[in-house]
Structure formats: structure tokens, C-alpha cells
Structure 1
């Protein structure tokens, strides 16, 4: 796979209570990913960028909410989220990799 494409697949971590609970209970990390990426590309990107072994990847499309603005109705962008299950004993420290 093209090395440049790997850097464009993972857009950033998703930090929420649900993602923190998934990380503690199921050894999963949640990422915001490129909407055109598939599971195999996401798995390859995480393994090469973070140097970890990935067991499985689950993806879901998040639909953007419709919000009222002062100019009428607006819509947030749709985006894609990936739950990446790491192998036993593997971990990704997102706080240290941001520095």
C-alpha cells in the first residue's frame, strides 16, 4: 500500500466516554477515519503507524446532525469511525504519540 495513503486514512482519535470504556474493557481504540477507507486499509495503517498488532476492525458511518442556525437549518458533516481491537498485550498511548 502507498505510504502516503496510510497517513491520509487515520484522521485522529475519538475521545469520549464510550471510547474510553471500549479501551478499558475490550482493548479497543477508536479512530476517526477517511470515509473512503475500508477495513483492510485501516488495519494496515494502524499496524504500520503505531507498530501494533491488530486483531479486528469494525467500522460505522456516523450521520451528521441537522442543527438550527440563525440562517435556517444546517447540517454537520457525515464521517466514519473505526473501532480497532488490538491483540492481547498491545496498546496505543495516544497522549504520548501526540507530542
Structure 2
């Protein structure tokens, strides 16, 4: 099994994801090759909570320009993680 900290890269904190936190739903950037089961197990091991659902989506690469040079941003994957009702909120997000 992969290291859980290699699967979960970073949390995504925006205004919209802050509203999700009231319903115990959190958003993370995850490894492109990770599947829903691996993400669920990684969150459960790192934060010691129970996960009910995981929804994932791939964010496509976008074209960017810098002067006369053009290229693309990296493609990445994000996961919406719903915790169970009896789970504690994640300590990582309490200061937000």
C-alpha cells in the first residue's frame, strides 16, 4: 500500500470549501493515480475519522501565456470527502 501522505497532497481552502466544512465535507488535492478507496483509507489513517463518501474529479490543464511564450498548467485531481455524522471535525481546518 502507498504512504497516505503521498496520496493526499494538500487541502484546498476557498470560500466555497469553507461553506462545505459546516456539513463535514472537505476538499483535498490528491495524487492523479489515486482511486477513491485509496483516498478514503488515507484520510482515515491520517486524521483518525470515518469517511462515508469520496467524490473525485480531474481538473484539466489550462493554456497560459507569459509574454510571447505559451504553455499549459499541470493537470491535477481533487477529492471531496464526506465524513460520517459521528466523526469529529478535522483539527487541520479549525483555524479557518
Shorter chain as denominator, the TM-score bin is 0.7 to 0.9
SS at match of 1:74: strand
Identify the structure with the greater helix proportion.
Answer: 1
Q: CA deviation at 1:95?
A: 4.7
**2:58 equivalent to 1:58:** no
| Over 3 Å off, 4+ runs | none
Structure 1, unaligned runs of 5 or more: none
Which of the numbers 3, 8, 13 marks the counterpart of 2:11? 13
Q: Which residue of structure 2 aligns with residue 27 of structure 1?
A: 24
Output the TM-score relative to the length of structure 1.
0.85
**2:72 equivalent to 1:46:** no
**2:55 equivalent to 1:82:** no
Q: CA deviation at 1:64?
A: 2.3
Quote the Cα distance in structure 1 between the aligned partners of 2:91 and 2:78: 19
Structure 2, unaligned runs of 5 or more: none
Supply the RMSD in Å over aligned alpha carbons: 1.5
Output the TM-score relative to the length of structure 2.
0.88
